């Protein structure tokens, strides 16, 4: 019986990881207003300028710290353990419920932390927006 719980957990985890990896591959990027400069240079040059500005931002703007991922993992493990213990108590297995809950919560917290760390910080976005502005573009937001 415990083996079937592990298979179910593994399958669910695989689905979540696959979804998040697919989602993480397309990070937020600036949306450019179609001003005269954008029409003049065209979409290919605009794409190259966006990539250059994003690279400059990566070189000069501090990134998310590893503590973001670690903190989310710890919080997830604690919350999952508590929920698992309550669920286990109702079913007669507090220890196994807490262990499964902690593992599930830690995994979800870890994935959440990785996802947050992959998102550009407000400083990163501001840097890219200013870089694009200095090149003649008008960024109206991020998507």
What local confidence, expressed as pLDDT, does residue 47 receive? 97
Q: Rounded to 10 degrees, what is the CA torsion of 119, 125, 128, 129?
A: 140
Judge contact between 127 and 139, C-beta under 8 A. no
Residues forming a β-bridge with 139: 32
What is this structure's pTM?
0.52
Record the tokens describing residue 124, joined without a space: 């990163």
* Residue range 106-130, pLDDT digits in tens: 566 555 555 445 688 899 999 999 9
Judge contact between 80 and 105, C-beta under 8 A. yes
pLDDT band of residue 1 (cuts 50, 70, 90) is: very low
Mean pLDDT across the stretch 33-50?
Answer: 98
């Amino acid at each position: 019986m415990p083996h079937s719980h592990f298979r179910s957990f593994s399958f669910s985890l695989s689905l979540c990881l696959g979804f998040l990896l697919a989602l993480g591959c397309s990070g937020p990027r600036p949306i450019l207003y179609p001003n005269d400069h954008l029409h003049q240079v065209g979409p290919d040059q605009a794409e190259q300028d966006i990539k250059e500005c994003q690279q400059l931002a990566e070189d000069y703007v501090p990134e998310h710290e590893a503590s973001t991922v670690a903190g989310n993992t710890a919080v997830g493990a604690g919350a999952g353990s508590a929920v698992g213990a309550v669920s286990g108590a109702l079913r007669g297995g507090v220890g196994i419920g807490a262990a499964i809950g902690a593992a599930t919560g830690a995994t979800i917290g870890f994935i959440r932390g990785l996802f947050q760390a992959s998102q550009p910080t407000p400083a990163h976005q501001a840097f890219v927006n200013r870089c694009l502005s200095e090149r003649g573009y008008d960024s109206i937001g991020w998507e």
